[in-house]
């Protein structure tokens, strides 16, 4: 008798092509890695959609890091919010070809840094931030006091 385990569909065989959208949202700016755009809201001097100017290798580096950090193994929805008032939240959305979506919401509370899942998300944020810094993308706000 042959018994097959359908539950072994664990995302361990994920590859770069399985990641179809990566959104990073922070302080009035929505960055869409795959579409290669960032959208600024009205708090910026030049609101609207702008070209992110990422190369294919840079986009693939971000995808590879999602795989290497095993972000896909995290739960689909995680929230790391320790502060209650006047907190600045950031978000990540990762969409997969399988229709799976992961959503991560976090603040910059030091209490979060002990959590291994949070550390993976921060590593991914660091990779994206470093690539954007090399592109010299630093939109100017209307009010310099964020």
The reply to whether 66 falls in a domain is: yes
121 inside domain: yes
Per-residue pLDDT averaged across 63-75, rounded?
Answer: 95
Answer yes or no: are the C-beta atoms of 38 and 123 closer than 8 Å: no
What mean pLDDT do residues 99-119 have? 89
Domain that holds residue 64: 16-134
When pLDDT is cut at 50, 70 and 90, the band that residue 113 belongs to is confident
pLDDT tens digits, one per residue of 11-68: 458 999 999 999 999 988 999 999 999 999 999 999 999 999 999 999 999 999 999 9
How many distinct structural domains can be found in the chain? Answer: 1
What is the predicted pLDDT for the residue at 34? 97
> Of the ranges 6-20, 47-61, 73-87, 111-125, which one carries the lowest mean pLDDT score?
6-20
Q: Is 86 in contact with 27 (CB distance < 8 Å)?
A: no
The reply to whether 2 falls in a domain is no
* CATH number for position 20: 3.30.1560.10
List all residues 6 or more positions away from 14 whose beta carbon is below 8 Å from its beta carbon: 67, 72, 96
Whole-angstrom distance, CA of residue 51 vs CA of residue 36:
6
pTM of the predicted structure, to 2 decimals = 0.83
């Amino acid at each position: 008798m042959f018994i097959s385990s359908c539950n072994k569909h664990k995302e361990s065989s994920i590859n770069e092509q399985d990641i179809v959208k990566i959104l990073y949202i922070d302080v009035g700016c929505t960055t869409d890695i795959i579409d290669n755009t960032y959208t600024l809201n009205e708090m910026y001097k030049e609101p609207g959609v702008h070209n992110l100017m990422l190369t294919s290798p840079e986009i693939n580096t971000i995808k590879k890091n999602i795989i290497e950090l095993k972000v896909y193994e995290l739960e689909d929805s995680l929230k790391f919010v320790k502060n209650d008032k006047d907190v600045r939240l950031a978000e990540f959305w990762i969409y997969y070809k399988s229709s799976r979506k992961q959503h991560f919401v976090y603040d910059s509370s030091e209490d979060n840094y002990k959590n291994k899942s949070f550390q993976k998300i921060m590593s991914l944020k660091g990779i994206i931030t470093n690539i954007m810094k090399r592109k010299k993308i630093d939109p100017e706000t209307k009010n310099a006091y964020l």
